[in-house]
Amino acid sequence: MVPSRAKGIYIYDVDGNKIVDFSSGIASLPLGHGHPEVIAAAKEQIDRFVHVCSHTAYYGLYVDLIKSLKRIAPPCLRDGMGYLGNSGGEAVEAALKVIRYSTRKPLVLAYVPSFHGRTTGALSITAADSKYRKNLQYTLGNVMHIPYPYCYRCPMGNTYPECDIACLSYVENYILKMIADSEDIAALVMEPISGEPGYIIPPDEYVRRLTKLLASTKISLIADETQTGIGRTGKWFAVEHWSIEPAVMTIAKALGSGFPISAILGERQLMAEWKKGAHGSTFGGNPVAAAAAIKTIEVMERDKVVQNAERVGNHLLKRLSDLVEHEKNIGDVRGKGLAIAVELVENKDTKAPAVELRNKTLGIMLKKGLYCIGAGASAVRFAPPLVITPEDADKAIEIFQDSLKTASVK
């Protein structure tokens, strides 16, 4: 796809085709393309000043954005402190730095599969595809990876719920007893819903047991909400689905409605340990991007966009789930809000990933006017702007089903 312009939920390509965008710039456009109020806020700020650097001058937008984030944050972080960067990778880097700096503990736990970014620190906890690390095995050390509760394709070869959450028992009985003392572990980094591997959702029982484990061992939780935050899952933040209380939370992608900006929110006591000059960014919290982010949150609150994501997401998820018994190549459908993945397989019994079929289906969908992108081994990712209607969702399902049938013909 080669865009020439975009507006709302539509992209217009250089050949004049009108395409429904169900990718949102990888979940980065909660209000769609070019929301007039967001653009107006950015233009107004451009006329004032574009850049001064938050480390050499104070400007209200930086503080105002952090106040806006604290207003919508989980209760445990509403009295916290914030820091602004430019991207999700930067937010993850900042979270790793502050947790290690403040706790003085060297080790970090992360998941397989997971994706947290491509910068060196973020890459050290990313475990989604070996191509990200190829020729780059100089990433930060002191990271131990544990299995994510990916129940459809269990990394430990078990079946849920018969497994009795074996992936967490492995952490309790082996990692913490035979490899690393919990007193040396600064944090567990977790996407509450794992995005790039295909919107993997942990079982409620897993989250309950994990919460108890972290509390008993005093291991902090870094919640990576880079993709799931700002309403994507039908809540402002995905941790709210389980009332999880992170010590630090990363926020990016949808925050700026396409303008590059990110943030971390952390517990006040933890963040206060971070001494002046210990971290910084020349462009972090850029005034134009900050203005866009503040207006994005304001519009989403006023127009009840998060509630729409939940309502339309439930409709889309149900319609897609109904296809499982009728389509031989749909192995699994999962999601919350408008973060939904349809996993395509060669065979439902073996669950072998249908990579070629997925890619072919995506290509046909694009030709029919619907732009989706892949995720994980062989999933089609539905991550549209959070303002879509049930009618938009129905049209997308029709195109997806027709495209899959066409792609399935040998």
Asked if residue 304 has pLDDT above 70, the reply is yes
* End residue of a domain, out of 281, 302, 323: 302
pTM: 0.96
Confidence of residue 139 (pLDDT cuts 50, 70, 90): low
Map residue 14 onto helix, strand or coil: coil
Tokens of 145: 């990876």
Nearby residues of 54 by Cβ (< 8 Å), 6 or more positions away = 62, 84, 281, 284, 285
- Report pLDDT digits (tens) over 156-198: 999 999 999 999 999 999 999 999 999 999 999 999 999 999 9
Greatest CA separation found in the chain? 63
Domain CATH number, residue 27: 3.90.1150.10
Residue 139 CA: distances (Å) to CA of 36, 103, 110, 132: 42, 21, 14, 11
Mean pLDDT of the chain: 96
Q: 334 and 277, same structural domain?
A: no
29 and 84 fall within a common domain: no
Give the sign of the dihedral formed by CA 326, CA 203, CA 78, CA 110: negative
**Count of domains forming the chain:** 2
Which residue, of 302, 320, 346, is where some domain finishes? 302
- Whether 53 and 30 share a structural domain: no
Q: Do 269 and 312 belong to one domain?
A: no
Residues 334 and 353 in one domain: yes
Dist CA 252 CA 185 (whole Å): 26
Q: Are residues 209 and 179 in the same domain?
A: yes
C-alpha to C-alpha distance for 306 and 309, rounded to whole angstroms: 5
* Nearest to 219, CA basis, from 125, 116, 106: 106
86 and 118 both lie in a single domain: yes
Which among 255, 270, 302 is the end of a domain?
302
Q: Which of 61, 68, 4, 62 is nearest to 33 (CA)?
A: 4
User: Three-state SS for 234?
Assistant: coil
Q: Is the pLDDT of residue 27 over 70?
A: yes
The answer on pLDDT for 138 being more than 70 is: no
Phi and psi at residue 184, to the nearest 5° = -95, -5
Distance CA 22, CA 385 (A): 7
The verdict on 339 and 358 lying in the same domain is: yes
Q: What pLDDT was estimated at residue 129?
A: 87
3-state secondary structure string across 130-198: HHHCCCCCCCCCCEEEEECCCCCCCCCCCCCCCCCCHHHHHHHHHHHHHHCCHHHEEEEEECCCECCCC
Q: Which domain holds residue 260?
A: 38-302
d(CA 351, CA 384): 26
**Using one digit for the tens of pLDDT, what is the confidence trace for 311-342?**
999 999 999 999 999 999 999 999 999 999 99
* Residue 55: per-residue pLDDT: 87
Task: Report the relative pairing of strands 143-147 and 107-112 from DSSP bridges.
Answer: parallel
pLDDT for 385-404, tens place per residue? 999 999 999 999 999 999 99
Residue pair 333/321 in contact (Cβ under 8 Å)? The answer is yes
Q: Give per-residue pLDDT as tens, 203-261.
A: 999 999 999 999 999 999 999 999 999 999 999 999 999 999 999 999 999 999 999 99
- Cα–Cα distance measured from residue 82 to residue 329, given in angstroms and rounded to the nearest whole number: 45
Do residues 15 and 144 both lie within one domain?
no
Residues 7 and 79 in one domain: no
Say yes or no to pLDDT of 134 above 90: no
Residue 248 and residue 98 in contact, taking contact as beta carbons nearer than 8 Å: yes
d(CA 149, CA 211): 14
Q: What is the pLDDT of residues 48-68, one digit of tens each?
A: 999 999 989 999 999 999 999
Per DSSP, the three-state class of 311 is helix
Whole-number Cα distances in Å, 56 to 15, 19, 42, 103, 195:
46, 44, 22, 28, 36
pLDDT of residue 155: 87
Q: In what order do the strands lie in the sheet with 373-375?
A: 330-336, 339-344, 379-382, 373-375
- From 369, 391, 373, 392, select the one nearest 383 (Cα to Cα): 373
281: pLDDT strictly greater than 80: yes
Answer whether 338's CB lies under 8 Å from 384's CB.
yes
Q: Are residues 274 and 364 in the same domain?
A: no
Instruction: Give residue 186's identity as a one-letter amino acid code.
Output: A
What is the model's pLDDT at position 263? 98
Tokens of 260: 């590059």
Whether 331 and 245 map to the same domain: the answer is no
Helix (H) or strand (E) holding 83: strand 81-85
In this structure, are residues 409 and 227 in contact, taking their beta carbons and an 8 Å threshold? no
